[in-house]
Amino acid sequence: MTPAVILACVGAYFALLLAIAWRTGRGADTAGYYLGNKASPWYIVAFGMISDTLSGVTFISVPGSVGANQFSYLQMVFGYVLGYVAIALVLLPLYYRLELTSIYGYLGQRFGPRAQKTGAAFFLISRTLGAAARLYLAAGVFQTFVFDQWHVPFALTVAVMILLMLAYTYRGGIKTLVWTDTLQSAFLLLGVGLSLVALWRGLGLDWDGLVSTLQDSPHAQIFFWDWKDPKFFWKQFLSGAFIAVVMTGLDQNSMQKSLSCRTLGEAQKNIFWFSGVIVLVNFLFLALGALLYAYAQSQGVAVPEKTDQFFPLLAFQHLGTFAAVVFVLGLTAATFSSADSVLTTLTTSFCLDIAHDNRRSEAERTRLRHRAHIGFAVLLLLVILVFQAVSSRAVIDLVLKLATFTYGPLLGLFALGLFTRCPVNDRLAPLACVLAPVICWVVERNAAAWFGGYKFGYELLLVNGALTAALLYGFTRLTGTASETEMAQRQ
C-alpha cells in the first residue's frame, strides 16, 4: 500500500468529520460547547464512548502486548465493569444533583477552592500526558509508513494532526464531539472486525480452525494466580475497577459527555450499556493479537522489538491492501476520538476550575475558551515531541502507569469527600496531593527489596489514593480544620 493511498484514506475520513462538525457546530454557544445544551441522546453517547475509551493505544498496543502478557489484560477489563457500575450508582447521581459542568466543582463545594484547583490540575496533567501518549503512538505509525518516505519531519506530522483536530472541535465542543465520536466508534469496530477477517483469510482457516487456533494459542491464558506477579488476577481486577473509576468517573474528559445527557436515568443507561460492550470489544482486540502472532509464525515474519509496530507491520506489508485500508481507518478513528475530546475537556476544566469563567460575560467566556483551546493544542504538540525523545516502552503500559501516579490524588480527594464527613485544611490540599505520588514512586522503586520480591502493578493507584486521603486527614488533625459554618456551606 503506497503512502499516497494511506493519505487519501485519512483525508476522506477527515472530510466526513469536518462535515459533521459544520452541521453540529453552527450557532454553538458556551452551553453547547460545554454540555451540548443537555440534549445528547444516551445511546449516541454510549456508542461514542467506545472509541473515546479504547483509543489508538488499544488498537495497536493491546494486540501487540499479547506476546508478553497473554490475555491478562482481560482481567483488568472485568474490573472495569465493576468500576462502571460504581460510577453509574454513586458518582453520576452526585454530579446531576449538584448540576455540575466540571466535576471538580464538587471538590470546591466539599473542601474549598484550593482542593478544586488541585483536582483540576491533576486532571489537566493526566489527560495531557495520556492524550500525548496516544497521539504519539498514532503519529509514529503514520510517520514510519508514510511520511518518512517523503522526508517529512515528525514535528510537522504531529502539528498537522493537531490542526485537523482543531478544525472540527474549535467551535462546537461537546455538541460536535458526541456525533463525531459516533462515526469514529463505527470505524473503530469496523477496523477490528475486518482485521480479524483479513487474518482469518490469511491463515486459511474455517470457523472450527479459527476457534481451535485461539484455544490452543500459547498467548491465550487469561487468569494468573501468582501473587508476586504483576499479572496476578486480584491485582489486575481491583486495579481495573479503580482505574475505571478514576479514569472515567473522576475524569472530566469522560464524564462531560455523560453529563450532556438529558437526565440522570439516561446517563446511567449509557454507562450500563457501555460496560457490557467494552468486555466484548476488548476480547476482540486480544483475539486479534493472538491471530497476529499465529500468522507471523506461519509466515516466518519476525516480531519487531517494539510490539506497538507489530500490527501495522503486518497490515501494511503482509496482509494486502484490504487489511491496510482497514487498519488506517480503524487507527485514525481510535486515535482521534480520544485525542480530540481532550482539547475540549481540558479547555472546560481550565476555564471553569482554574480561570472561573462563569464570572465573566458571554463574549469574554468565548474569547477565553478559544485561547485555552488553542493553547492546549500547542501544549499537546510540545509534550508529544518530548515523548518522541524519551519514550521506549509499550504505550499501553505508559498510559496506565501514568494513571497510577496522577489519578491517585483524585481518588483520595473524592473518596474522602464521598465516604467521610472529615473536614480538610484546604490550604494544605495541594501539598498532600503532591507528596502522595512522590512517596509512591519511592516505594515502587524499592518494593522488591523492602517486601520480599513483591512487584507493584496498577494496584499502586489504590496505595496512592489511600495515602493522599491519609495525608489530607493527618494535615488537618495537625493544623486545625475549617469552621463548622464553612463546612456546613460546603456540604
Cα–Cα distance, 464 to 283 (Å, whole number): 29
Domains of the chain: 3-394 (1.20.1730.10)
CA atoms within 13 A on the CB side of 152: 18
- The CA-based diameter of the chain, rounded to the nearest angstrom, is 73
pLDDT mean by block of 10 residues, the chain; 491 residues: 76 81 69 76 84 71 81 90 94 93 93 93 87 79 80 89 80 75 82 83 82 84 82 86 87 87 92 90 87 84 77 79 78 72 87 82 82 91 83 56 82 92 90 94 86 76 91 87 46 46
Which residues does 383 contact at the CB level (< 8 Å), separation at least 6?
A: 128, 129, 132
Sequence length of the chain is 491
Question: 40 phi and psi, to 5 degrees?
Answer: -80, 125
Residue 172 confidence (pLDDT): 64
Cβ contact 32:171 at 8 Å: no
Cα–Cα distance, 289 to 430 (Å, whole number): 42
Residue 484 confidence (pLDDT): 40
Packing angle, helices 362-390 and 321-349, rounded to 10? 130
Question: Using CB atoms within 10 A of its CB, is residue 187 exposed (0-12), middle (13-18) or buried (19+)?
Answer: buried
Residue 171 confidence (pLDDT): 65
Cβ contact 246:410 at 8 Å: yes
Which residues does 434 contact at the CB level (< 8 Å), separation at least 6?
A: 409
Q: What is the DSSP string of 183-203?
A: HHHHHHHHHHHHHHHHHHHHH
Distance of CA 441 to the CA centre of its chain: 22
Residue 187 confidence (pLDDT): 81
Helix H or strand E encompassing 162 = helix 154-169
Measured CA distances, 452 to 18, 25, 64, 227, 404 (Å): 56, 57, 31, 12, 22
Write out the three cell numbers for 304: 519487531
Residue 488 confidence (pLDDT): 45
Write out the three cell numbers for 289: 493479537
Residue 409 confidence (pLDDT): 93
Q: Which of 103, 85, 46, 96 is nearest to 345 (CA)?
A: 103
Residue in the structure block whose three cell numbers are 480527594: 413
Q: Which residues of 210-231 are buried (b: 16+ CB within 10 A; e: fewer)?
A: beebbeebebbeeebeeeeebb
- Identify residue 300 by its one-letter amino acid code: G
